[in-house]
Structure 1
Amino acid sequence: MTARTALSYRPANPELAVFVSGITSMGIEVLALRIVAPQFGSHIYTVGGIMTVCLAALSLGYWQGGKRATDATNREMTWLLLGTAVYMAVVIYASDILLSQTAALALPARYAALPSSIILFGPPTYLLGFISPYAAELSRKEGTGEASGHVYALGTIGSILGSAATTFVLIPALTVDTIGLVFGITLVATAVAIEAPSLPQKPTFASVGIAVLLVVATGAGPVAFDHRGDVVYHTQTAYQELEVVDDGDVRTMYLDGARHSAMDLEEPKRHVFEYTKYFHLPMLLTDDVEDVDNVLFIGGGGYTGPKDFEQRYDVDVDVVEIDPQVTDTAEEYFGLEHGENMTSHTIDGKQYLQNTDETYDVIVLDAYKKDQVPFHLTTVEFMELASDRLADDGVFHANVIAAPSGAAGEFYRAQWKTMDEAFGGTYAFRTSNTNEIQNIEIAATNAETDFSESDLAERNDERDLGIGLTDEVDNYMGEPDTSDAPVLRDDRGEVDSLLDPMLGQRYVIEETEDNSSAGSDSGDPAAPAVALGTAPLVIAAAPKKRTPVER
């Protein structure tokens, strides 16, 4: 085919239908994770479940379509496309309600996302599966092999385009509902194009009605009360769903439905989450506070820790945050100001350490989620890299989410053992007196050290840090039993299996008292704890239709 012929080529109706079905089916599969993740998390079971459902539904559609292909017509393909568009309106309008309802089903946590995935994405993918065998039957190509190969090629090209466009263009730029609208209108437009230029009455009226239905579903969703507070900002970034929610005087950043940072609007220097005070423990483990000049945070969120270090100590603070919109949100809603002593880097944490020649006195790793941990930031290879970037008396600090003991503590024990392999001394501190899943702070010194709890308590009394760490030191834990724990390595993907026992279990985040100023000795064990159960039950996604700010 010459360039001129290619430019003037007009695809036949079956070719157009199969190309668009490829775009839409793969686009729906990519979009599905963004719809389901805020309710059920974005761990491997959610991702694998969505892929399984979509592939199973598509295969069933291929099979059924193949059995009926001998009677295939362009009109039947029109109704299949319009039927899929109708279901896209259902997904746009009812996904929040359906997710919350299916979350209450008594299923093991690893399978919790399957019912909603089946109901939301099974039917439209099934309908689109009919298109390929129909298109092969209606193809102008001579011979079954040539027709099938042509259809497979067009469908695959469409799938590549749908996957790339959804991932790199639509999700960073549009809301989930708007992307659903784009897919729905594309299906309707394709149905009209197949019928053109005659435009029979029934398909034409149906197309107009479905287009209106899609627009209405996008603009007027079910009214629901958001128990978290007022959603002041909501967007889909290239990495996650990001929300800012105000509940009274407390502003919270949610990433994929989970709380990650909080700020007291009336008292911005207060540590709302107790675990952020533990970030100062390295100042007790280092030989001399005055020698701490350079600090690195891997993971920014609302920049609670980086802001505190910049304001409290005479240090330069570098922050590595892979999601640029998280940093933008911290600037706009959490009072982040970049100056001479604060620099943000938009890059993966491991890549930054590999590329930098900077030496740090303190490195704080705060990039883990309860159900999704970037495994390459957990391994002994990463820890050795971090050790190489630390000063000889430097301190590495990791915010780990796990239980102190039991099956839900498997990841904590493996992480402790891995860090102990790379550093000279390793210490752990619980943030809650319960045995629930919580933030466990693991600090490690580059030099060979052997601090006891009393040693750290003495240093806390002697050093004027401007923040009391008495209760934090009291939560010092002894060395865990790591005899059955693995050392995490780059070539062994064990993290997901270690996180598995935590699925569906309660996650406790301790909060400080409202009157606990940043300079006071707070952290009272009686301080309130927020118990977060399985994300579907407690941390619900904000109703998108109530979001007052979108961009």
Structure 2
Amino acid sequence: MKKSNLILYITSFLSGMTVMAVELSCSRLLAPYFSSSQIVWTVIIGLIMICMSIGNVLGGRSADKHKSLGRLYFYIWLASVWIALIPFVGKYLISGIAGLLVLVMPGSDIVVMGSALSCLVIFSLPMTLLGMVSPYLVKLGVEDTENKGRVAGQIYAMGTIGSIIGTFVPTFFTIPYIGTSKTFLLFALLLNIVCALYFLFSRKNALRNTITAVLILVFLLIPINDSLAFWKTNIIYEGESLYNYLQVSETDDSVILSTNVAFGVQSIYKKDGSLSGYYYEYALMAPYFIKDMSPEKKLDVLVLGLGTGTFPKQLKKYVPNVTTDAVEIDAKIADLASKY
């Protein structure tokens, strides 16, 4: 690995890592509005692959025509700025697209159309620009070497290694601990830094990149309003866990948990202990399907999916002589149940 090509390998690594990180963060950004179903994942993966393919073609043509690292790093800088803007404008664009579809195409499949249009509007430009990186790097990296195959292989390997890391880091670290919005900012900052380093050493446009890198870093470090249900006024908690987007809201008579949706209800607790009238409570009839059921009969119940614990509470209240054990994979939900 030549030192002269080091910046190219670092660029390939960071661009590959950012592509996967943005793709995974895209799913979490769209989930509250359109769900995180297989349909939405298919739309995200398919459209991003289309954008990357277009970027590969455009990048190859541009590399042959211009043969300029400066142009490549301008494209990367532009992608980083766009990604950094997503936490601030993405939710408004998504809700606007969803509302427009309801008005203009009320009979359409909002999940498919909404997720596709949102993905195109928000992510097509940065993904296309990042798709231009690999052909550019290969063109400029192999131009003055006899080992063209080796250098091209190393460039693609670095991009793939970056993609692997970009797959795990958001899911297991950044999204659960700093949230989706800060994840976008973090990876935008990494891209911006590599651009700033290039322009600094080449003594071209270093000030522009330094300013944007500092701005992104500031927004990464300070609290920002990253509420995805920004139109609601009764939210008392909004955050993310390893598994879910979580939202707790409160009305005069209820406390409500929503997971991965901005509009639905996954659990509701009535402050007076009464039933909510939602379909979840049909499960309270289950014990009465047991043969020889009677008020004196002792029951052991295992609940898979504790949620906020409303069902075990109702079961204890309405079914006599019951002992309940419950299991919940998302510890954050159990913590919210205790707190609220």
TM bucket by the smaller chain? 0.7 to 0.9
Aligned partners of 1:224 and 1:42: how far apart in 2?
Answer: 15
**Partner letter of residue 170 of structure 1?**
T
Q: Which residue of 1 aligns with 2:207?
A: 204
**Partner letter of residue 16 of structure 2?**
G
Q: Which residue of 2 aligns with 1:149?
A: 153
Deviation of 1:111 after TM superposition, in Å, equals: 2.8
Deviation of 1:251 after TM superposition, in Å, equals: 1.3
Q: Which residue of 2 aligns with 1:288?
A: 293
**Partner letter of residue 16 of structure 1?**
I
**Greater share of strand:** 1
After superposition, the CA RMSD in angstroms is 2.6
Q: Which residue of 2 aligns with 1:14?
A: 8
Q: Which residue of 1 aligns with 2:238?
A: 234
Say whether 1:23 aligns with 2:30. no
Residues 375-417 of structure 1: per-residue CA shift (max 9 Å, x gap): xxxxxxxxxxxxxxxxxxxxxxxxxxxxxxxxxxxxxxxxxxx
Fraction of identical pairs, as percent? 25
Aligned to 1:248, the other structure's residue is in SS state coil
Given that 2:195 and 2:209 are in contact with CA atoms closer than 8 Å, whether structure 1 keeps it comes out as no
Aligned to 2:146, the other structure's residue is in SS state coil
Aligned partners of 1:57 and 1:259: how far apart in 2?
Answer: 35
Q: Which moved more, 1:70-79 or 1:203-212?
A: 203-212
Aligned to 1:139, the other structure's residue is in SS state helix
Given that 1:233 and 1:244 are in contact with CA atoms closer than 8 Å, whether structure 2 keeps it comes out as yes
Say whether 1:299 aligns with 2:305. yes
Aligned to 1:302, the other structure's residue is in SS state coil
1:329 to 308, 313, 336: 336
The answer for unaligned runs of 5 or more in structure 2 is: none
Given that 2:240 and 2:246 are in contact with CA atoms closer than 8 Å, whether structure 1 keeps it comes out as yes
**Partner letter of residue 211 of structure 2?**
V
TM-score by length of 2: 0.87
Given that 1:188 and 1:211 are in contact with CA atoms closer than 8 Å, whether structure 2 keeps it comes out as no
Deviation of 1:181 after TM superposition, in Å, equals: 0.9
Computing the radius of gyration from Cα coordinates, the structure with the larger value is: 1
1:34 to 9, 28, 33: 28
Say whether 1:162 aligns with 2:166. yes
Deviation of 1:85 after TM superposition, in Å, equals: 1.4
Q: Which moved more, 1:120-129 or 1:302-311?
A: 302-311
Say whether 1:108 aligns with 2:102. no
Which stretches of structure 1, 4 residues or longer, exceed 6 Å deviation after superposition? 222-225
**Partner letter of residue 92 of structure 1?**
P
Given that 2:175 and 2:183 are in contact with CA atoms closer than 8 Å, whether structure 1 keeps it comes out as yes
Given that 2:189 and 2:216 are in contact with CA atoms closer than 8 Å, whether structure 1 keeps it comes out as no
**Partner letter of residue 327 of structure 2?**
V
Q: Which residue of 2 aligns with 1:270?
A: 274
**Partner letter of residue 6 of structure 2?**
A
Seen in structure 2, the aligned counterparts of structure 1 residues 320 and 303 have a Cα distance that, compared at 3 Å, is same
Deviation of 1:229 after TM superposition, in Å, equals: 3.7
Seen in structure 2, the aligned counterparts of structure 1 residues 260 and 61 have a Cα distance that, compared at 3 Å, is same
Given that 2:236 and 2:249 are in contact with CA atoms closer than 8 Å, whether structure 1 keeps it comes out as yes
Say whether 1:85 aligns with 2:80. yes
Say whether 1:177 aligns with 2:181. yes
TM-score by length of 1: 0.55
Aligned partners of 2:195 and 2:23: how far apart in 1?
Answer: 21
Deviation of 1:133 after TM superposition, in Å, equals: 0.9
Seen in structure 2, the aligned counterparts of structure 1 residues 124 and 134 have a Cα distance that, compared at 3 Å, is same
1:126 to 120, 125, 128: 128
Given that 2:249 and 2:255 are in contact with CA atoms closer than 8 Å, whether structure 1 keeps it comes out as yes
**Partner letter of residue 210 of structure 2?**
S
Given that 1:23 and 1:158 are in contact with CA atoms closer than 8 Å, whether structure 2 keeps it comes out as yes
Deviation of 1:159 after TM superposition, in Å, equals: 0.3
**Greater share of helix:** 2
Aligned pair count?
324
The answer for unaligned runs of 5 or more in structure 1 is: 334-551
**Partner letter of residue 286 of structure 2?**
P
Of structures 1 and 2, the one scoring higher in RCO (CA 8 A, sep 6+) is 2
Given that 1:14 and 1:135 are in contact with CA atoms closer than 8 Å, whether structure 2 keeps it comes out as yes
Aligned partners of 2:4 and 2:238: how far apart in 1?
Answer: 41
